[in-house]
Amino acid sequence: MTEKSGFSAVRKILLMQVVVIFVTTGGFLILKGESYIIPSFLGGLIAFLPNLYFAYRISLAKGESAKIIVRSFYSGESRKILLTCALFAIVFQVPDIQIFPLMTCFVAVLSVFWFALVLFAQDFEIKSVRKDG
């Protein structure tokens, strides 16, 4: 995997997450009405913003030693989890927030990671570790 393809894949994943937020929120608008727009959008943001932060933290470690990259990864991931919890805590303070659209969009945005492995497999050069393979 080259550096360029790795960061290109990250950009694609973040862009796909934004698209999923708008598609899911638009779907709720069409199927359920205006009352589902805000919870759906907020659920998407709760998933997207910590991922954006994590991508930023990892990009700062580009070109550093392996030890610094690993430390940055763990630090970024733990802060991402804390940020997600904080965002949920803030959103749950909204009166009469509807949980179904909130969680549906949240899970939809997170599911982008699952599909990214298949969709962007061609972006990564996979080499055999074995000498005979």
Between these two residues, 113 and 101, which has the higher pLDDT value? 101
- Asked if residues 101 and 40 have their Cβ atoms less than 8 Å apart, the reply is yes
Digit-coded pLDDT (tens) for 102-121: 999 999 999 998 888 777 66
Please report, for the chain, the start and end positions of each structural domain, with discontinuous segments joined by +: 3-118
124 DSSP 8-state letter = S
pLDDT score at 9: 79
75 contacts: CB under 8 Å, gap ≥ 6: 57
The least confident of 42-56, 60-74, 88-102, 111-125 is: 111-125
